[in-house]
Amino acid sequence: MNRVLSVFVGAVVLLAVVTGVVVARRATPALDPHTPEGVVQQYLQAVVAGDYRVAANLISPSAGCDISDVASAYNPGTARIVLNHTAVDGDQAVVTVDVTEGSGEGPFESTGYSHTERITVARDGGVWKITGSPWLLSPCASTKG
Amino acid sequence: MSIGLILAIFSILVQVGLVVLVVLAVRHFGSRTGPRGTDAGTVRRFFQYLLLYGLMVVAAVGLSDLVGLLFQEPALAGDNRDTLARALTFSVFGIPMFAVMALWSRRRLRQDEDEVRSLGWAFYATVAPLTALAVDMFALHDVVSAVLAGQRFDWSALSRFVVWSAVWLVHWIAAKRMLDDDRRQGQLVIGSLIGLATSVTGVVWLLGASVDAILDQANTVLVQQNQLASAAAVVVVGAPVWVVYWLRTLSGGRRTSLWFGYVLPVGVGGSLVLAVVGASLALYQLLVWFVGEPASTQAAQHFKGTPTAGACVVVGAVSWWYHRQVLARATLGRTEVTRVYEYLMAGIALLAAAVGLTMVVVTLVESLVPAPAVEVGTSVVNSLLSGVTLLLVGGPLWWVFWSRIGRATREYGPEELGSPTRRTYLFVLFGLGGVVAVVAVLVAAFGGIQGALQGGFDAQVVREMRVPVAILLATGAISGYHWVVYRDDRSRLPVTSPQHGPHYVLLVGAPDGIVGDAVERLTGARVDLWVRADGLAGPWAVDDVVAAVNQSGADAVAVVAGPAGLETIGMQRR
């Protein structure tokens, strides 16, 4: 009986380790940068990495934002951002993402909170560019209105 | 710096103090029914089962997080490796530690009878399945509501549901096998309560939201499906819990005080309160619409909350009827549980009627002395109608229960008049009424004196004093009436002679949850019940035990129930 239980516990632990390895090695899929969600992905990756120059280059001139606005805007730091859906209407698109921000330092602390955000994108000269986001681009003219 | 140090020391002291308190409590409760030598074992069990519980939570959280991570959608940007680190730590270390601890505990449970009867094991076998049940219900709600609302499927909730369901099932079976029926009833009662409350909430919400959706269809610009989906999910979650815990298990269980405590005050009483509150709200809306001053001239707007109130009436009435049927099948004499239920209902109804009376008096003064300036947003008629509604609902309900109690006082005499529930009820009403009346007098006097000093005692000062004066009238009437009832009770109760019997009674015989309490109540002595290990115990008869105790002249007495009857042994301290 105890041996069966030991084997079972060992199998569960082994399975847990394998699952952990699979999850840890899973690469983030790179979306097509010529699509609204692709440009949003590039922008978010740049913001999270603190690469504000790359992020600023992805913003449309009509947004009224420059690199100083991007750098002074909110940076989520540790966050997990998942694509919810994309709504395209001609040269305009809204990309909705689910964000889980923050995490506790210890094992018994909270694993953060989740919220949904919308990022607007527009085609400018055949290239999709970020035009606004109340979440990440609040200092910009387009978001202020 | 120094404040931080003081806070840190204070926090450590508080934690140490809590541990000492818990240990003392466990030693106290653990040594009441067992031999003194088991104190160390009781403390050991407390920490053992607390650790087992903590490890169970850690292992289940780790496993469910890990499975959830496996199925989660790929991220656009950023990745939370801390969650993975926690899940791996909890799974790889938590699961083996829990398994070792569980195996050790199981071996002790099989070897030692005291372990099976211990408070620590009962605590674990009650709290662990209920924790799993609660997490399970939230997870299932997230899964079902997402599916019904057409949102993205919640894989992490599904993994939580699967893992915690397995945890619940294992603990449900373990408690069924290794915990005696009476001590398992705690888990069953709490589970039934959770199931009933969730199901009733879900059905009321679903009914109200459905009627709202149907009636409001013509005026609705945007149909909000989430309300209906969430309500339906609550029903889907609550109903199986109620079926498993109550319908299939507890409803056929032994009729203990705990069982009646669930069926009577919660099942019958709670349902009645729900129906009455719903009826009051619906009646108020109707009265305001036909007689009062409705805030909106559109019926759809005015009666917006009425479907939910109506749903409360329907669901409350069905639940009340069902629990009455259950109670009718269980033969129940007039016990303390019955009294708690009836006095509780009478008290709630009386409170509603008292608030109604207060509001009627307030609006009476308001109508006699109109406000000097136009008051926006207040309606004297609506206030009067809410007062009348509360009086109409609370008054007759109080009368129904109070007259039932009155019949019981005539039928049972001193047993009813001297019962602790009746005494508590009268003292609470008299005491609360007195406290509120004193505060009301002070507030009214302050208002009067302040007004007189500022500009003379005129009609406006009387108007300012309307609320405390109305409260004083209502509480004064309640307090006075119950003081008269209490004095009448005392005059009808036989004069009790001072107790001369033993101060301590040790009963040795068959296990019985009732005899100890009954002997304690009838003799006034402290009573302990020990079970005969040789299986030769005869059945207890309370009257015989009380007679045997009273005949003994000793200060402490042991009553042993054997095959030949009761044997009484006088005892004294060395």
Say yes or no for a CB contact (<8 Å) between A97 and B76: yes
For chain A, percent of residues with pLDDT exceeding 90: 2
- What's the pLDDT at B219? 58
**Numbered residues of chain A with Cβ closer than 8 Å to any chain B Cβ:** 2, 5-6, 9, 12-13, 16-17, 19-20, 22-24, 26, 28-29, 31, 37, 40-41, 44-45, 47-48, 76, 78-84, 97, 100, 103-104, 107, 111-112
Phi, psi of B280 (to 5 degrees): -65, -45
Q: Mean pLDDT for chain A?
A: 81
Which among A45, A76, A107 has CB closest to B86? A107
- What's the pLDDT at B316? 93
d(CA B99, CA B60): 12
Say yes or no for a CB contact (<8 Å) between B70 and A22: yes
Chain A residues with CB under 8 Å of B82 CB are 78, 103-104, 111
Which among A83, A84, A100 has CB closest to B80? A100
Say yes or no for a CB contact (<8 Å) between B78 and A112: no
Give the lowest-confidence range in B11-20, B84-93, B426-435, B513-522.
Answer: B11-20
- Whether the per-residue pLDDT at B298 is higher than 50: the answer is yes
- What's the pLDDT at B19? 54
- For Cα atoms B561, B567, B568, give the angle at the middle one, nearest 5 degrees: 120
Residue ranges making up the domain that contains A34: 29-139
Say yes or no for a CB contact (<8 Å) between A103 and B83: yes
Evaluate whether B344 touches B272 at the Cβ level (below 8 Å).
Answer: no
- Whether the per-residue pLDDT at A145 is higher than 80: the answer is no
Spell out the residues 6+ positions from residue A77 whose beta carbon is closer than 8 angstroms to its own: A48, A101, A102
- What's the pLDDT at B20? 57
Number of domains present in the structure of chain A: 1
Q: Mean pLDDT for chain B?
A: 82
| Min distance B175 CA to chain A CA atoms (Å) | 19
- What's the pLDDT at B216? 66
Q: What is the CATH number of the domain that holds A91?
A: 3.10.450.50
Could you tell me the two tokens for B193? Answer: 């309560």
pTM of the model: 0.73
| Min distance A7 CA to chain B CA atoms (Å) | 11
Q: How many CB pairs under 8 A join A and B?
A: 100
Query: With helix as H, strand as E and coil as C, how does chain A read?
Result: CHHHHHHHHHHHHHHHHHHHHHHHHCCCCCCCCCCHHHHHHHHHHHHHHCCHHHHHHCECHHHCCCHHHHHHCCCCCCEEEEEEEEEEECCEEEEEEEEEECCCCCCCCCCCEEEEEEEEEEEECCEEEEEECCCCCCCCHHHHC
CA atoms within 13 A on the CB side of A55: 24
Spell out the residues 6+ positions from residue B470 whose beta carbon is closer than 8 angstroms to its own: B357, B358, B359, B361, B362, B365
- Whether the per-residue pLDDT at B189 is higher than 50: the answer is yes
Chain A residues with CB under 8 Å of B74 CB are 26, 28-29, 82
Which among A17, A22, A81 has CB closest to B78? A81
Mean pLDDT of B224-250: 89
Q: Where on the phi/psi map is residue B499: left (φ > 0), alpha (ψ -120 to 50), or beta?
A: beta
Chain B residues with CB under 8 Å of A97 CB are 76
- Whether the per-residue pLDDT at B14 is higher than 80: the answer is no
DSSP state of B77: B
User: Which segments of B72-154 does DSSP mark as H helices, in order?
Assistant: 81-89, 95-111, 113-117, 119-148
Give the confidence band of B548 by pLDDT, cuts at 50, 70, 90. Answer: confident
Say yes or no for a CB contact (<8 Å) between A16 and B91: yes
Identify the residue among A82, A114, A135 best suited for mutation to test binding to B, counting B beta carbons within 10 A and taking the highest.
A82
Question: pLDDT, tens digit, for every residue of B173-188?
Answer: 999 988 888 888 899 9
d(CA B343, CA B320): 17
| Min distance B99 CA to chain A CA atoms (Å) | 7
Chain A residues with CB under 8 Å of B87 CB are 16, 20
Q: Domains of chain B: which residue ranges?
A: 333-492, 504-571
d(CA B371, CA B374): 7
DSSP of B134-161: HHHHHHHHHHHHHHHTT----HHHHHHH
Quote ipTM for the complex: 0.76
Identify the residue among A9, A110, A114 best suited for mutation to test binding to B, counting B beta carbons within 10 A and taking the highest.
A9
Cβ neighbours, 10 Å, residue B183: 16
| Min distance A1 CA to chain B CA atoms (Å) | 10
| Min distance A17 CA to chain B CA atoms (Å) | 7
Mean pLDDT of B121-130: 92
Chain B residues with CB under 8 Å of A75 CB are none
Could you tell me the two tokens for B270? Answer: 């709670």
Evaluate whether B163 touches B67 at the Cβ level (below 8 Å).
Answer: yes
| Min distance A124 CA to chain B CA atoms (Å) | 23
d(CA A25, CA A41): 20
Chain B residues with CB under 8 Å of A41 CB are 76-77
User: Which carries the bigger pLDDT value, residue B513 or residue A60?
Assistant: A60
| Min distance B7 CA to chain A CA atoms (Å) | 21
- What's the pLDDT at B523? 81
Chain B residues with CB under 8 Å of A45 CB are 76-78
Which among B62, B79, B83 has CB closest to A111? B83
Question: pLDDT, tens digit, for every residue of B40-66?
Answer: 777 888 889 999 999 999 999 999 988
User: Of A142, A144, A131, A134, nearest to A59 (Cα)?
Assistant: A131
Could you tell me the two tokens for A67? Answer: 């690199």
Mean pLDDT of A40-69: 85
Say yes or no for a CB contact (<8 Å) between B74 and A28: yes
Say yes or no for a CB contact (<8 Å) between A9 and B95: yes
Mean pLDDT of A98-127: 77
Q: Chain A: residue nearest B59 by CA?
A: A13
Q: Tell me whether residue A76 is in a domain.
A: yes
Identify the residue among B63, B73, B76, B152 best suited for mutation to test binding to A, counting A beta carbons within 10 A and taking the highest.
B76
Q: Chain A: residue nearest B104 by CA?
A: A2
Q: Tell me whether residue A6 is in a domain.
A: no
Evaluate whether A73 touches A141 at the Cβ level (below 8 Å).
Answer: no
For chain B, percent of residues with pLDDT exceeding 90: 22
Chain A residues with CB under 8 Å of B69 CB are 19, 23
Q: Tell me whether residue A118 is in a domain.
A: yes
- What's the pLDDT at B457? 72
Q: Tell me whether residue A37 is in a domain.
A: yes
Q: Tell me whether residue A124 is in a domain.
A: yes
d(CA B340, CA B334): 10
